[in-house]
Structure 1
Amino acid sequence: MVRMSAEERRESVIRAAVKEFARGGYHGTSTEAIAKRVGVSQPYLFRLFPGKKAIFLAAAEWCMETTIRTFGDASKGLEGEEALHAMANAYTQVIAEQPERLLMQLQMYIAVGAAEQEGDHEFGEAVRASWMRLWDTVHLPLGADVEETTTFMAYGMLINCLIAMGFPSDHRVWEGIYESSRRKDAPGK
């Protein structure tokens, strides 16, 4: 049996935490569930991370960084509409293959909102900083056009919500998204 390094074990904890937090949220997920998913004891978990909050923030950071990397890789060398479609297609593939990443994103926003109401700004500061890196990763290939970036991010959030709620792809709520995409692809647009 091959032993993992502390860094490899830490990475496995983060990936397990993404799955557990995506399913149960911050308050509904126990560190015991994360430890069990990884196959370690809770005390070992706390040798890698000082507490549940640190695990959640590491999972949130991992989730955002992988999304940033997805957009960056997809748009590399592209601009404008080509970059937009490449990023949209890459993200669509990721959330189809790894729905826990989408659900983790939504759980991050919930956790930030709840923490902010309780006066805890650490969640918000960390998630907002990651989100701004995501914004910049999208913004530059779209020609640093604020309207294009806003539209891309707004459609992304709408798509996240529709998928999270389980709307099938042929449901009428998708018509506006499909129609908008066709209009943008129309000749002369």
Structure 2
Amino acid sequence: MGRGRGSTQERREDVIRAAIVEFARTGYRGTSTAAIAERGGVTQPYLFRLFPDKKAIFVAALVRSAEDTRPAFETAADGVEDVERARQVMADAYTRLISTRPETLVIQLQGYAAAAQGDDLIGEAVRAGWLSIWETVHLALGVDAEQTASFFACGMLGNTLTAIGLPMATG
């Protein structure tokens, strides 16, 4: 463990969590490294000892977001045998995640947008995170790829409706 306020790894984690919030608030282009450093409780020079540049911070934030999202699905479905019940508890767990930490949804959407614009480094992080979540859900549901895709299609509709401020249709 490092001196003072925690180890380098702990400080790095603080910065990543701060970056998720800042990127969610003001977007990739609108977020300054100074704002991330301030929220993360580090100086800007120290921030650049932890990360080579702002893009590396954004990629780390995307990776952390996927790493935070995947267990929400996995834990919710643990021990659930019925496929329909598993779908529901996973959807509910994700809904709780993005309602208590809305920055998770925002950073995911920003990552998709950056990947769609052709940024290879960001695209690679987004794809890896997505595949990790896909595999978790696919295994938990125990269904074919088409049914897993259907689960995610409904989820992406929910993400879109949430992002634009419309409630999910029920019933």
Give TM-score, length-normalised by structure 1.
Answer: 0.84
Deviation string, structure 1 residues 48-101 (Cα, Å, up to 9, x no partner) = 111111111110000001100111111112241121111111111111111111
Q: 3-state DSSP class of the match of 1:140?
A: helix
- Output aligned runs, 1:1-189, within 5 Å: 3-79=5-81, 80-114=83-117, 116=118, 120-167=119-166, 169=167, 174-175=168-169, 178-179=170-171
Cα distance, 1:39 vs structure 2: 2.3
CA–CA distance in 2 between the matches of 1:144 and 1:57?
31
Deviation string, structure 1 residues 115-149 (Cα, Å, up to 9, x no partner) = x1xxx412111210110111111111222322221
Choose 122-131 or 142-151, whichever is displaced more.
142-151
- How many equivalent residue pairs? 168
Q: Which runs of 5+ in 1 are unaligned?
A: 180-189
Q: 3-state DSSP class of the match of 1:141?
A: helix
Residue identity matched to 2:155: G
Mark the structure with the bigger radius of gyration.
1
Q: Which runs of 5+ in 2 are unaligned?
A: none
CA–CA distance in 1 between the matches of 2:154 and 2:93?
15
CA–CA distance in 2 between the matches of 1:104 and 1:125?
15
Cα distance, 1:11 vs structure 2: 0.6
Contact 1:25 1:111 in 2 (8 A): no
Contact 1:142 1:149 in 2 (8 A): yes
CA–CA distance in 1 between the matches of 2:126 and 2:95?
22
Choose 76-85 or 12-21, whichever is displaced more.
76-85
Query: Deviating runs (4+, > 2 A) in structure 1?
Result: none
Give TM-score, length-normalised by structure 2.
Answer: 0.92
CA–CA distance in 2 between the matches of 1:166 and 1:82?
27
Contact 2:62 2:126 in 1 (8 A): yes
CA RMSD of aligned residues (A): 1.6
CA–CA distance in 1 between the matches of 2:111 and 2:27?
8
CA–CA distance in 2 between the matches of 1:25 and 1:132?
24
Contact 1:65 1:130 in 2 (8 A): yes
Contact 2:111 2:123 in 1 (8 A): no
CA–CA distance in 2 between the matches of 1:84 and 1:18?
27
